[in-house]
Structure 1
Amino acid sequence: MTSTTRFKLSFMMFLEFFIWGSWFVTLGTFLGSNLQATGAQTGAAFSTQSFGAIIAPFIIGLIADRFFNAEKILGVLHLIGAFLMYQMFNTQDFTAFYPYVFAYMVVYMPTLALVNSVSFNQMGDPEKEFSNIRVWGTIGWITAGLMISFIFHWDSAEGIKEGFLKNTFMLACVASLILGVFSFILPKTPPKVNKGEKVTVSGILGLDALKLLKSSDFLIFFLSSILICIPLAFYYQNANPFLTNIGLENPTGKMTIGQISEAFFLLLLPVFFKKFGFKKTLMAGMLAWVVRYTLFAYGDAGSSSWMLILGIALHGICYDFFFVSGQIYTNARAGETVKSAAQGMITLATYGVGMLIGFWVAGEITDSHKLAEGSFDWNMIWLIPAGIAAVVLILFAVSFKEKKELKA
């Protein structure tokens, strides 16, 4: 790979996740403070990510893999995304906002697969080369959070009061416009499937891998993956509004500690996986969710703020030790013939079905624990997902039997 190609791919990854991090983290806070959205409405807005994840395979399978270069579709989708972000910036109420965020997620979620396709197409050894490119996406997400908190101060008490959080959509709009134009000079990535080749719905959604569910261990892992997405949704939907509501300074910037942690534990994952095996690694990830939410439940913005910071820092274990380990396990269990289908099925089950249920549950629980004058019973809002994660952990620990050949 030439230095020019490496720069292009790294800049593409940086912008891809800068865009997502520049508005998605503060979305819950924006909806509550700017649009006076209820918990159920906030859950509906976050659920658009799940609908996007469900629809994305069709865009990739029916269009990107058959008719057009991946980099060109990437450019078009981000240009459309820039327009939708501008419209979200201008909305004044939730009713007008929702169609735009729904449409945006439909066009954005496929780009996550497209940037990977463009990258892999330029690599001789993706297992060694991809991480050096993908890390720039994490850096992009972190940069967005630091800018919002420490440069623009949009998430400060004063900034929220003045309605400055809506500027996050303009920030994402500009970045989307840049990436949309830049995509057309990315390395050419032609379609992977011949135009005459038959494509089925089951193939697009990864349902060809359903036969893996005949194995009891994979079935238990599959169901656990869906269930653990319920407490996961609470973090995405409520973490920023929670930290803002209790008065923690620079909440968005401090939440980037989670992405730094994610990058760090990603490096430790192979060592942990090899030493302790898949089951214990997954259990560590589930336990981290229990600990994290317990810390959130009893932490505050004063003398116990360390509990909040520690809870944020646990993101690396929460995410890497469960979801990345799950991808590795799925890859090992699937075999060559249905490897891609199996990954697609797991993605559909977690980010599609699991998160969709999770955002709905999080919205309902948040509404049911709303107190007077815009305050919430955060203790219970966090203890409930902690309890859900604990139940999933216990069920998994008791019922999952690890295959000996997957322990090393």
Structure 2
Amino acid sequence: MKPYKYYAGLTSQVGFCATPLRLDSYNRCQFSCEYCFASTRQGYGRNERLQIGNPTSLLNRLSRVFEGKISSALDELISHRVPFQLGGMADPFSRIETDKRVTLEYLKILKEYDYPVIVSTKSTKIVDREYLDVITESNIYVRFSITVVDPKLQAKIDRGCPPLEEIAVAAKELHTQGIPVCFRFQPIIPGHEQYFKDYLAVAYESNVKHISAEFLKCPIDANKKFGKSLKVILDDNPIQRYKDLGALKQGREYILPITYRAPVLAAMAKETRGKGITFGFADNDLLLHSDGNACCAASNLYLRDSNYFTANIVSLAKEKSIGERLYFSDFLAGWVPTRAISTYLNSKSRIAVSDSTQPEWLSYLQEMWVGKLGVFSPNYFDGIEITNEHDEHGLPVFIKTHSKIAELVNLSCTSTHPHNRVAEGL
């Protein structure tokens, strides 16, 4: 078992995510979810040799950074108190934690610095007494991931994970301790959307503050790597099932069309907000419609003394009103890390920086802005359209528009909603 060299870094979604700092206790997960995102992506998975994180390294880094010694882009983001996402690649509470207790040590260190952290897990171990003693009064926000599927099938899809009933008990306990909880309904299995109401009712009764929701993505190797029960649900041929629903291939995944996803998610958002719970659209192209200003988790509403990485496309668009134009030069008005980011990106995301007169991050953003880094140019996101205009540097100009999804259910695209339990102080 070797040390996990890349236990901390930036997520691949840094170009449109306000919380791109990843922190992992282990390089792989010991749950056996049948859709396992990690095992269907290159470079990670259940078959990788187990590596463990280094709490001492984290402690040394935080100590150094808050003494003013900054040596990397990661350090810059930490110095700005951008929240860590603990469990960005692998669940921090799978079985190995009982023995190695790396997550427990991370949580102690983060509490020492009152550092903001979003914990993502499918486990209820976080409410075991030794963990609860640490996280009480910590600067923490807990996000439980739950598959939206016929409840009778959940145990077969989320193999090895606690049932919803146990997660609900854990959520109530965290609420009692003053710790905000999010239910992340991910993935939503197509054809099982109607069960969302059942899961939402459990969330409401468990005093959950926020719901985020995202449909299942179908990787190109899904027919081989999806589990047996999930393949049965998807007609024993997940890829063909997705194609039949109009899915298009994006990179290594098939994504359901927005015409399928948007009406369903908009209705979920309306019902969730009607119960006084904030809502996040976790599908990337719908991020602009999420409550809060920190991507789908709305963590800016629930964490204290934290800042967010706003030098990204979604954050820029959220600051604009309908009809306002988005210029690349708008990024120059905000904070941008000055040190290199390329070492924190995987090989498929890295760029050859040709303009040494500006920070590397701006070069990365510029490549994304003009569509050279896959699909994630500004007009990929619902509510942003490209114009025929160009700025003085020849870069395209975009405009924030009335969104089709917002019009569909009369949703507002504002950052927060007045009738939620946060505003009411509950």
**Is the TM-score greater than 0.5?**
no
Structure 1 length-normalised TM: 0.26
More helix by share: 1
Which protein, 1 or 2, shows the higher relative CO under an 8 Å CA cutoff with sep ≥ 6?
1
